[in-house]
A = this chain, B = another copy of it.
Amino acid sequence: MLILTVDKASTVPVYRQIYERIGRLVDDGTLVPGDRLPPTRVLAQTVGVHRSSVLRAYGELWALGYLESRPGSYSTVRRRVPTRAAVPAAEGTLIDWAAVSTPTTRGARDDAARLGRERETRESVVDFARLSADRRIIPSDDLRRCLKAALLEEGRELLDYGDAAGYRPLREVIARHMRTHAVAVSADEVLITSGAQHALDLVLRLLTRAGNRVAVEAPTYGAALALFRFHGLDLVEIPMGPEGMDLDALDDVIARRGPRLVYTIPSFHNPTGITSGQAHRERLLALCEARRVPIVEDGFEEEMKYFGKAVLPIKSMDTRGVVIYVGTLSKVVFPGLRIGWIAAPRECVDRLVAIQRVSCLTGNSLAQAAAARFCRVGHYDAHLRRVHRVYRKRMQAMLRGLADHMPRGVEWTRPSGGYTLWLRVTGTKADEDTLQARLLRDGVRVSPGNLYFQTPRAEPSFRLSIACVTETEIEEGCRRLGRSLRGIVRA
């Protein structure tokens, strides 16, 4: 709707104020050829002037070539060349936005910029950096049908405000899904969020304040580190061993430094790809139970297992209610749908729902309804089988490629699932940035290891992701990686 005001006290005639403003909207591209102007009667009423002034203004605009005027019809904007810059520049801002921003915002900007860079790609480069579901196998047609059915059957409810805890049938689908992983939760213990990152944000808003201590694996998920920093938390890094985080170190930290929570990714750990065993999980749980420290278990790729024996989530053993489980659909199917969830004790979920209501009222019910349908009719399981077929082969190709091409002095993990593995370059004095730049020049993009540490490490390491590369690309990427690193390790 076009809204204009005029200044009746001005020496500029009213009709002129109107035609100048409309002319400016055409010049700056806001009104485009073919756009209708309001009927003169309507505009006169809205602006609060005589209709004759509007008629005169339209007449001037027509005379200046701005309008087509068809008798008995609406006035529409004519095709003509714009004569001014699209938008007049503001005079500059009186507020020093850097100064008025909270202290952690600066860090958030740097982190956001780093996270953004991870996404850039070039055609000729083999991209081992990108970590998200491969667009080429996203089942968008199935989703479209689910969306259509959801809208036809319950569109009016879905387009209204929904339940702050999430669309009930999706909570039921997720609870059932968790139960097939031996996690005994009901729909009331499940909260739907706008993705796993948002889930983690809610948990931090519930349990932490700036300055609180939090125990994290080192390395760990880069975007989680960014979020912890934005919350102003004091991060205590627990080193990752070949079996998962060092539990002796954790025990010591819990006993002596009182963290508010322990954040862990036990399966297909991001970035290392390590999956901890049953005994490791039991001891981790026991440590946290003994000191009543909540565990935040990030199961972001829980189902992406390709080889070997299954390991159950820590949450499946959580009879005493200390585990907050975070899940997501983003890594298997639709990142853009923004569907994550939290499974936690009812007491905890109720509080998280309150925070969700107060901070964003409700999630996207339509996306949630489509996701529920997608799972219920079996598309999710079918797609998961496809994902397994594809990624089992990609992971095999990756492990084979590394075995074939890596020089001595390079070590890597051997994940049984997920998208990522971790590569350490021990036989060099070159630093990580130099190595990364060199690899990129040689046609392989990798993710620098220091993105995943709070405290930077000297030894170069990299995260390699198979999320968005085909087997052929993987083979070629490993060849380039080997060629590039061989030169460096020799040097």
Contacts and interface: CB of A to CB of B under 8 A. Distances in A.
B186 A160 contact: no
Contact of A358 (B21, B182, B226, B303): B226
A181 B5 CA distance: 10
Contacts of A364: 194, 336-338, 364, 367
Query: Which of A321, A322, A361 is the most central at the interface, judged by chain B CB atoms within 10 Å of its CB?
Result: A361
A41 B343 CA distance: 31
A357 B158 contact: no
Contacts of A338: 360, 362-364
Interface in A187-220: 194-195, 197-198, 201, 205-210
Contacts of A362: 335-336, 338
Interface stretch (A147-155, A243-251, A402-410, A476-484): A147-155
A381 B94 contact: no
Contacts of A361: 115, 195, 197-198, 223
A25 interface: yes
B94 A289 contact: yes
Interface string A88-105: 101111111110111001
A4 B310 contact: yes
Contacts of A309: 5, 46-48
Number of this chain's copies in the complex? 2
A347 interface: yes
A2 interface: yes
A309 to B, nearest CB: 4
Nearest to A100: B207
Interface stretch (A61-69, A131-139, A390-398, A445-453): A131-139
Query: Which of A157, A180, A186, A260 is the most central at the interface, judged by chain B CB atoms within 10 Å of its CB?
Result: A180
A130 to B, nearest CB: 10
A308 interface: yes
B21 A303 contact: no
Given A197-B359, A227-B359, A338-B363, A87 B185 contact: yes
B119 A161 contact: yes
A337 B366 CA distance: 7
Contacts of A345: 90, 93, 95, 97
A180 B56 CA distance: 21
A212 to B, nearest CB: 9
Interface in A71-101: 86-88, 90-98, 100-101
A405 B32 CA distance: 49
Interface in A346-399: 347-348, 350-351, 353-355, 357-367, 381, 384
A6 to B, nearest CB: 9
Q: Across the A-B interface, give the 8 residue pairs with the lowest CB-CB distance, nearest first.
A: A93-B321, A48-B309, A140-B155, A112-B354, A30-B179, A112-B357, A198-B360, A159-B336
26 contacts: A3-B182, A46-B309, A90-B318, A90-B345, A91-B321, A94-B289, A95-B294, A95-B348, A98-B347, A101-B206, A102-B207, A105-B206, A115-B361, A116-B164, A116-B357, A119-B161, A138-B159, A140-B156, A144-B148, A144-B151, A144-B155, A159-B333, A201-B360, A227-B359, A338-B362, A364-B367
Interface of A: 1-5, 21, 25, 28-31, 46-48, 86-88, 90-98, 100-102, 105, 108-109, 111-113, 115-116, 119, 132-133, 135-136, 138, 140-141, 143-144, 147-148, 151-152, 155-162, 164, 176, 179-182, 184-186, 194-195, 197-198, 201, 205-210, 223, 226-227, 230, 260, 278, 289, 292, 294, 303, 305, 308-312, 318-322, 330, 333-338, 345, 347-348, 350-351, 353-355, 357-367, 381, 384
